Amino acid sequence: MSQGNLQIIDCPPKHLEDYHQFTPEIVDEVQTLANHFRGLKVAHVNATALGGGVAEILRCLVPLQNDAGLQSSWYVIPPDDAFFEVTKQIHNFLQGKEGALTPEQRQIYIEYNRFLGALLSKIDTDVLIIHDPQPAAALTFLTGAKPKLALWRCHIDTSTPNRSVWDFLLPFLKNFDHYVFTMAEYTNSAFPQDKISLITPHIDPLSPKNIPMNKEEAKNYLTRFGINPSQPLITQISRFDPWKDPKGVIDAYRLAKKEFPDLQLAMVAQMATDDPEGVRIYEEVKSYAKSEAGIFLFTNLPDNDLAVNAFQTASDIILQKSIREGFGLTVTEAMWKGAVVVGGSVGGIKLQIQDGVNGFLVNSPSEAAARVILLLKNPQLKSQLSQAARRQVLDNFLMPHKFLQYLQLFSKLNLSLLLPQPPNLPLPFRVLPP
Ligand code: UDP
């Protein structure tokens, strides 16, 4: 344990101007506001460069922040099997799993964060943004000067955390200056209201995963994976994780298949490096699927972004049958492509899907199956929901929105005053949504 160094992730450049075509007013506002923070050093720290929503967000946010004149960087902590076993448990406990950390697990978490604290001390930054619980205690163990602002960005659903695990983390979390959650429900009154801001994740409409793909081409693309383009297809794109309810997805599929015998189900996953549980759950799901014809399980597909794009574009319906979901970028990505999503009525999925308006919210495999059947039988309904789905993402969940929300937060916290020469510009004041 305690080896390795921080990995700096080198993101290809992106240009704000290119996003003007989607949300011109937001991009203009970003450009104006960003002038106040030129030169501000921002360091993002998280646990993985691959797999999961946080990596997806940082891959776009960091280069855009740089394009706007901030000095933004992204650091990934060195991997450690024992530590990641513990932090995946912590993730599960914070999302409500019962049980407790053993003294040994607590020790592993603390000691690894002590090691990370020493590594993070070497980063020269004004603002340190630590994402999620894995490296959250590292702030407590910084050996040098503290950054001017330390912010904890929690992406998971902490609305009903396991009390003992939350209480274990709380003394470490209390050292942050400010907290960002996705939804008000997740803040669970642990921190003073004036130290909390809400920012939702967003997608990059220009990433290879989200650029428009022709539906027929997408269908053809999927034939390489054994998918029959002339049979209906439903897909869930998610890590193999208990909260994504993979067995419930198979149950829903089996029920819908009674009406549509040639229905196919694809479950597409990327094994995140910080999620050791993924392989175990995959094996469980595989045995639950019993090699049934029509069920396809995929992990770490080649050309991941293109493959995800093809599945989201070509599928008749996208499922996201989570029973807890911090946000669910897969929902956003699919809705952006005009796919109709049948999603679990939980957490961030409820922020995105309005039941019956731009998708469907469900509470059980049988409800999911009923919605799948309804949609497969009603192409007109599907087309209505599809248009509303894309609109929802355009209006609320494209990356320039997120960048703006961060800048608004920086304004609220008067971060421009931290700069050696604060810009002599009138600061447009805008209150963040509650
Ligand atoms: N993802 C991917 N390839 C896969 C499965 C998932 O690139 O095979 C991506 C997916 O497109 C999304 C992210 O992983 O961008 C998952 O984010 P989400 O917020 O849905 O869930 P999380 O994994 O963070 O809980």
**Residue 238 included in any domain:** yes
Tell me what the pLDDT averaged over the chain comes to: 94
Looking at the fold, whether 193 and 256 belong to one and the same domain comes out as: no
343 lines ligand 1 (CB under 6 A): no
Residue 432 has pLDDT above 80, yes or no: no
Which CATH number fits the domain that encloses residue 193? 3.40.50.2000
**Burial group, residue 286, by CB count within 10 angstroms (0-12, 13-18, 19+):** middle
State the Cα–Cα distance between residues 53 and 132, nearest whole angstrom.
11
**Ligand 1 centre from 56 Cα, in Å?**
8
Instruction: List Cβ neighbours of 293 (8 Å cut-off, separation of 6 or more).
Output: none
**Ligand 1 centre from 28 Cα, in Å?**
29
If one counts every other C-beta atom within 10 angstroms of the C-beta of residue 95, the result is: 22
Least confident interval from 320-324, 385-389, 420-424: 420-424
- The DSSP bridge pattern shows strands 7-8 and 71-76 to be antiparallel
139: containing domain: 7-202+398-418
Looking at the fold, whether 16 and 32 belong to one and the same domain comes out as: yes
Q: What is the pLDDT of residues 19-44, one digit of tens each?
A: 999 999 999 999 999 999 999 999 99
35 lines ligand 1 (CB under 6 A): no
**Residue 304 included in any domain:** yes
Provide the number of structural domains found in the chain. Answer: 2
- Ligand 1: nearest atom to the Cα of 305: 7
Helix or strand or coil: residue 17?
A: helix
Residue 413 and residue 33 in contact, taking contact as beta carbons nearer than 8 Å: no
Looking at the fold, whether 191 and 227 belong to one and the same domain comes out as: no
- Ligand 1: nearest atom to the Cα of 331: 20
Task: Please give the single-letter amino acid code of residue 172.
Answer: F
Phi first, then psi, for residue 236 (nearest 5°) are -120, 125
**Residue 429 included in any domain:** no
Looking at the fold, whether 387 and 247 belong to one and the same domain comes out as: yes
Helix or strand or coil: residue 28?
A: helix
> Candidates 327, 329, 332: which one to mutate for ligand 1, based on the most atoms within 8 Å of Cβ?
329
**Residue 434 included in any domain:** no
DSSP 357-406: TTBEEESSHHHHHHHHHHHHH-HHHHHHHHHHHHHHHHHH-BHHHHHHHH
**Residue 208 included in any domain:** no
Looking at the fold, whether 285 and 380 belong to one and the same domain comes out as: yes
If one counts every other C-beta atom within 10 angstroms of the C-beta of residue 1, the result is: 11
Looking at the fold, whether 219 and 80 belong to one and the same domain comes out as: no
**Residue 210 included in any domain:** no
329 lines ligand 1 (CB under 6 A): yes
Burial pattern 312-349, b for ≥16 Cβ within 10 A else e, equals: bbbbbbbbbbbbbbbbbbbbbbbbbbbbbbbbbbbbbb
**Burial group, residue 361, by CB count within 10 angstroms (0-12, 13-18, 19+):** buried
State the Cα–Cα distance between residues 214 and 405, nearest whole angstrom.
32
> Candidates 60, 237, 274, 305: which one to mutate for ligand 1, based on the most atoms within 8 Å of Cβ?
237
- pLDDT of amino acid 430: 46
Instruction: List Cβ neighbours of 239 (8 Å cut-off, separation of 6 or more).
Output: 51, 52, 269, 270, 271, 272, 275, 278
239 lines ligand 1 (CB under 6 A): yes
- Average pLDDT, integer, range 71-81: 97
333 lines ligand 1 (CB under 6 A): yes
Phi first, then psi, for residue 270 (nearest 5°) are -115, 135
**Ligand 1 centre from 271 Cα, in Å?**
10
Q: What is the pLDDT of residues 353-386, one digit of tens each?
A: 999 999 999 999 999 999 999 999 999 999 999 9
- Ligand 1: nearest atom to the Cα of 268: 8
State the Cα–Cα distance between residues 407 and 197, nearest whole angstrom.
12
307 lines ligand 1 (CB under 6 A): no
Residue 426 has pLDDT above 70, yes or no: no
- Average pLDDT, integer, range 398-413: 94
Residue 1's pLDDT band, with cuts at 50, 70 and 90, is low
Q: What is the pLDDT of residues 322-341, one digit of tens each?
A: 999 999 999 999 999 999 99
Residue 229 and residue 219 in contact, taking contact as beta carbons nearer than 8 Å: yes
Beta bridge partners of 127: 42, 149
**pTM (2 decimals)?**
0.93
Looking at the fold, whether 248 and 348 belong to one and the same domain comes out as: yes
Q: What is the pLDDT of residues 189-248, one digit of tens each?
A: 889 999 999 999 999 999 999 999 999 999 999 999 999 999 999 999 999 999 999 999
Looking at the fold, whether 375 and 339 belong to one and the same domain comes out as: yes
Looking at the fold, whether 20 and 147 belong to one and the same domain comes out as: yes
269 lines ligand 1 (CB under 6 A): yes
**Residue 354 included in any domain:** yes
**Ligand 1 centre from 182 Cα, in Å?**
16
**Ligand 1 centre from 39 Cα, in Å?**
32
Looking at the fold, whether 120 and 222 belong to one and the same domain comes out as: no
Looking at the fold, whether 140 and 255 belong to one and the same domain comes out as: no
Q: Which of 81, 51, 57, 63 is nearest to 18 (CA)?
A: 63
**Residue 90 included in any domain:** yes
Looking at the fold, whether 141 and 257 belong to one and the same domain comes out as: no
Instruction: Report which secondary-structure segment, H or E, holds 348.
Output: helix 347-352
